[in-house]
Structure 1
């Protein structure tokens, strides 16, 4: 069974990853609202419990999953542990005695409950003792309504507010001032402001390495020289080359030895990840994780589209597709500073061509816009089932790699 879901990050007020919401679809072609909420939730729990495992999809972070009244009544939340799921009560459920009893029981068992797309009604006050999180769509809720909700829950300090559909840093800052604890949306992937930023010596070295590894033929002497000029990079390279994921029998002790043993493809991945992960330490780690997942996904797709796409170029293009957000600068300014191959620059600047279409496909998958992904996949002549599998694998790979290069 394939797992058709997108994960949307939920960050805390320090922009650290708190959890993911899993957005389910029955298949690439069968999108909401063609299946009802009961079926969607049932399939999500089934896939999480018996096929993939939630922890593999969320990197051991809690998963917000929507539940209908029927799936709550059938006890589906208890098929998942209280540590791995936040039970999200759909906004379409009307507050009543049956729902209240179900919430009381889940709360007693230690489950975290959240109200989705909350619209205030006084009757919800009966539920407040058992609710931990209230999600508010800030695009559809006025400041007066938010203040009304805050006043209603004032006697329940355990309730935390989560702002949904936060699209800009201005909205994030406003929600922060209003007392929201958690934030969901795409504000973290857009530049906070356009400003001039000089790269540090270490970042310049990584940019130089990016250029060297984007060449068709690697110049081992030049690459070794760059590493030898930067102690921190050398340390991380040796640490990475000796990490358990490669299962080496003997320890790697020199820069040249590490470069030779890693090989071209693995070296390109390492340098790309190092650049993305260290170029702006103030950005949310989830943004870096997303860049890594994009890179792996593009590499996998390029492998099956060969010779239309070069996998190394595809990896770097996917990785750098969010570089403007990571550096908080417009993409034109960023690319002027980076000595990248013209092929990568053209893709990111013009947004035309096969590689650009692949980046667009990724954006649609991340937002769970499955109906539009079908059109792009048809255009690229990609197998839909295999594409979804590659996406899931890329997310798991990015989570693992993030631990290795940190």
Structure 2
């Protein structure tokens, strides 16, 4: 059995990561509403316990997981630790005595309870003493309805509100003003034009290096010259290549030697971490993690397609696909200033070419658009069974890079 799951980050008012919602499907061939919700929840629990540990998907953050009435009554949530999971009651679940008893028991055991895609009805008031989070679909709920829900819960100050499908900085600010505590959606990856800035000279140097290393035939002389022009970059390269992680027999003392010893793949990883850390230093860390995950996932997809020579370009396409949100400028303006191949620019801007297909599959996976993912998978003649593994590998790789940046 293959474990298909995507994740969506949940951030607080300071744009700090507090957890991930996990979104499950049986396969790319079998998408909702054709999957039974009880089976989807049970498969997610089984997969996270047996096929892939939750920590691989969420690190040290809790997983927000949807539960049906039947899976709650059967005690599936209890197979996970109280700190590992936020129990989301699906919006399709009808409130009643069985549900109330299950929720009360979980709350007494220390679990965090959330109501998903909440639509107000008086009967839910019986659940308020045991509810920690109310999730509201921002796109499907009017401001007046939101204010009414908040008013109805005023006697329960411990209840916190989470806005789902928040996709722009403007929506985020509006939800903040209404008193929301948590936010789900890719608003943090969108440009805030009022704060736009350009790439600094050292960041342009990194961009140039990324371009050079994206070529299957790297020009070692040219890359060496770029490093030698920047003392700070040279220092970081030498320090990285001399680190204990590589267990060198002899110390590296020149730029060219460091590049040769590292090799193209390790150099690319080094540059991706460095570039992401520098240009996104004032952005939520989750944006950096998303860039790195996209990069690695796109690279692995290109390799699965047998296009090994373009895997480096796929990597760079994925990594730069959110550069507009990092620099708070339009994508056209940013890419016009970067020394990138036309193939990469066309993929990001116009969604043309095979690189654009990889990026489209990556994006579909992020938001669990499984039908779209299947269409692209079929177009690229990819093996559906290998895609979840590539996604999970990309997540783990990104986590390792983020850990390296934090040290």
Question: Which TM-score tier does this pair reach, normalised by the shorter chain?
Answer: over 0.9
| Residue 382 (structure 1) shift | 0.7
What's the CA shift string for 1:138-195, capped at 9, x where partnerless? 2122222222222222222221100011121111100001110110112222222277
Compare 109-118 and 297-306 and name the one that shifted more: 297-306
In structure 2, the gaps of 5 or more residues are none
Give the distance between the partners of 1:243 and 1:70, measured in 2 at CA: 52
Calculate the aligned-residue CA RMSD, in Å.
2.1
When residues 103 and 196 of structure 1 are mapped into structure 2, their CA distance, relative to the original with a 3 A threshold, is: closer
Q: After the TM superposition, which residues 86-235 of structure 1 pair with which residues of structure 2 at under 5 Å, given as runs?
A: 86-193=86-193, 197-230=197-230, 232-235=232-235
1:236 and 1:405 in contact (8 A); partners too: no
Moved over 6 A (4+): none
Q: How many Å apart are 1:206 and its aligned residue?
A: 1.1
| Equivalent residue runs for 1:3-82 within 5 Å | 3-82=3-82
Q: What is the CA-CA distance between 1:215 and the residue it aligns to?
A: 4.1
CA shift, 1:276, in A, is 2.3
For 1:310, what is the secondary structure of its paired residue?
A: helix
Q: Distance in 1 between matches of 2:83 and 2:198?
A: 42
Does the 8 Å contact 1:273/1:405 carry over to 2? yes
CA contact (8 A) 1:240 1:404 kept: no
Say if 1:113 and 1:237 are closer, same or farther in 2 by CA, change over 3 A. Answer: farther
What is the TM-score of this pair, normalised by structure 1? 0.93
Q: Is the 8 A contact 2:299 2:311 kept in 1?
A: yes
Sort the Cα spacing of 1:138 and 1:305 in 2 relative to 1 into closer, same or farther, 3 A: closer
Contact 1:238-1:252 within 8 A present in 2 as well: no
Distance 1:359 1:102, change over 3 A: same
Which runs of 5 or more residues in structure 1 are unaligned? Answer: none
Q: Which digits, 9 at most, give the CA deviation of each residue in 1:281-329, with x for residues without a partner?
A: 2222222211111111121122233447522112111111221222121
Whether contact under 8 Å (1:347, 1:355) holds in the other structure is yes
Matches of 2:254 and 2:187 in 1, distance apart? 39
Specify whether residues 55 and 229 from structure 1 end up closer, same or farther in structure 2 by C-alpha distance, changes over 3 A only.
Answer: same
Segment drifting more, 202-211 vs 29-38: 202-211
Q: Return the offset for 1:237.
A: 3.2
In the alignment, what sits opposite 2:366? 366
Q: State the partner residue of 1:352.
A: 352
Rounded to whole Å, the distance in 1 between the matches of 2:388 and 2:121 is: 40
Aligned residues: 405
Tell me, yes or no, if the aligned pair for 1:103 and 1:113 is still in contact at 8 Å: yes
Do structure 1's residue 259 and structure 2's residue 264 form an aligned pair? no
Does the 8 A contact of 1:120 with 1:149 survive in 2?
A: yes
CA distance in 2, matches of 1:122, 1:39: 30
Counterpart CA distance in 1 for 2:250 and 2:144 is: 63
CA deviation after TM superposition for structure 1 residue 35, in Å? 1.5
> How far apart are residue 100 of structure 1 and its match?
1.6
